Amino acid sequence: LRDLMSDADVVVQNLRHRALERLGFSFEDLRRENPRLITCSITGFDPDGDMASRKAYDLLIQAESGLCSITGGPDEPSRVGVSVVDIATGVTAHSAILEALIARGITGQGMAITVSMFDVMADWLTVPLLNHEGGRTPKRVGLAHPSIAPYGVFETKDGKQILISIQSDREWSKLCERFLGDVSLSHDPRFASNVNRVEHRDVTDKIVAEAFLQRSSDQALADLTKADVAFALLNDMAGLSAHPELRRISVETPNGPVTYPAPASRFDGVTRPVGPVPELDEGC
Q: Is 86 a catalytic residue?
A: yes
Give residue 102's domain range.
2-133
Q: Are residues 228 and 267 in the same domain?
A: no
* Domain final residue, candidates 133, 159, 176: 133
- For residue 283, pLDDT beyond 80: no
Q: Are residues 16 and 97 in the same domain?
A: yes
| Any domain includes 283 | no
Judged on CB neighbours under 10 Å (0-12, 13-18, 19+), 214 is exposed
How many domains are contained in the chain?
3
Residue-averaged pLDDT of the chain = 94
**Percent of the chain having pLDDT more than 70?**
99
Catalytic residue among 7, 46, 75, 86: 86
| Any domain includes 56 | yes
Would you state the pLDDT for residue 282?
Answer: 76
Q: Are residues 41 and 164 in the same domain?
A: no
Would you state the pLDDT for residue 130?
Answer: 97
Q: Are residues 105 and 71 in the same domain?
A: yes
Tell me which residue of 128, 223, 126, 228 sits closest to 168, measured CA to CA: 228
* Domain final residue, candidates 133, 167, 202: 133
Q: Are residues 81 and 149 in the same domain?
A: no
pLDDT tens for each residue of 37-84 = 999 999 999 999 999 999 999 999 999 999 999 999 999 999 999 999
pLDDT tens for each residue of 124-183 = 999 999 999 999 999 998 999 988 999 999 999 999 999 999 999 999 999 999 999 999
Would you state the pLDDT for residue 45?
Answer: 97
Pairing mode, strands 38-43 and 10-13: parallel
Q: Are residues 35 and 122 in the same domain?
A: yes
Q: Are residues 6 and 129 in the same domain?
A: yes
Q: Are residues 119 and 6 in the same domain?
A: yes
The model's confidence at residue 112, banded by pLDDT at 50, 70 and 90, is very high
| Order of strands across the sheet that contains 144-145 | 144-145, 148-155, 161-165, 230-233
The model's confidence at residue 6, banded by pLDDT at 50, 70 and 90, is confident
Would you state the pLDDT for residue 284?
Answer: 59
End-to-end CA distance of the chain: 14
Q: Are residues 123 and 150 in the same domain?
A: no
